[in-house]
Amino acid sequence: MRPRDILAANLRALMAARGDLNTLPKITARSGVSNGTLDRIRRAAVATRVDELHDLAAAFGVEPWELLRPQGPSALSPLGLLLATHLDGAARDDATHRAAYAAAMAAIDALTTTSGWPPAREPAAAATPAPPAATEKHGG
């Protein structure tokens, strides 16, 4: 799959998940990316400039690389991505980061198991897997 196809799919998913950014004019107002360019991005008709990718990600409150991450049945939902981005920025130390990660995973598991997809994960044998360390943030 081409990066522009992944971006288009992620844009459509984020628009569907966010009532405040569910139309191109709303995204244009928040991001500064023109309505025509957004339409071409949504249809995967154009390769997007890095600056536009940055502005679009900022409008949705995610990192630019997250818009290029392929989604699938086992991938995080847009809600999961927004939650992860918020938690990554809110944690001030490793212990807080780990606790927030565990709570977020429990919340995501509860939401996804009630809808039936994705399938529930197998219970952990000993403990919840450790999240990436809070000091591994990229971008800026």
pLDDT in tens, 26-71: 999 999 999 999 999 999 999 899 999 999 999 999 889 889 888 7
Residue 78 preceded by cis peptide, ω within 30: no
Q: Which domains does the chain have, with CATH numbers?
A: 3-68 (1.10.260.40), 78-136 (no CATH)
- CA distance to 34, 57, 75, 97, 110, per residue, from 54 (Å): 14, 5, 22, 25, 32
DSSP 130: P
| pLDDT band at residue 123 under the 50/70/90 scheme | very low
To which H or E segment does residue 106 belong? helix 94-115
Place of tokens 């025509």: 36
pTM, two decimals, is: 0.53
> 50 in helix, strand or coil?
helix
14: how many CB neighbours lie within 10 A of its CB?
25
